[in-house]
Amino acid sequence: MPLIKLQTSVHISDDQERDFIASLSRIIAECIGKPERYVMVTIDETPIMMAGELGNAAFADVRSIGGLNPDVKAQLSQKICKLLQESLMIPNDRIYINFADISADNWGWNGSTFG
């Protein structure tokens, strides 16, 4: 049920993609404390203008049913930014992250909802 949707202006090569997605999946599962079998990761490459300039940047949308308390959000922000900086050379000040706690009845899966 945790989901991270990443939009970035940086191209991720085919060689890099598997390891990068796996790293994001592990970060989400470990920080939120949910089984990784429920984690979904999506990545879209798109031009991003931030602070009036095109360039390396990213927006991450993190959603979960519970588990997103202030400490977890701070930990996720630190780890996601570190991964983006080390793997894609995106400066921390060009990354925005949105966190959304979704009620279980608003999250569908396997022909039903979690609520």
Among 2, 35, 47, 70, the active-site one is: 2
* Angle value at C-alpha 76, between 68 and 44, nearest 5 degrees: 105
From first to last of its 115 residues, the chain has per-residue pLDDT tens of: 899 999 999 999 998 999 999 999 999 999 999 999 999 999 999 999 999 999 999 999 999 999 999 999 999 999 999 999 999 999 999 999 999 999 989 988 889 888 8
> Is-contact 48 8, C-beta < 8 A?
yes
Is 35 tagged catalytic?
A: no
Of 62, 13, 59, 15, the C-alpha closest to 41 is 62
Residue 74: CB atoms within 10 A of its CB come to 11
Structural domains for the chain: 3-113 (3.30.429.10)
Backbone angles phi, psi at 20, to 5 degrees: -65, -45
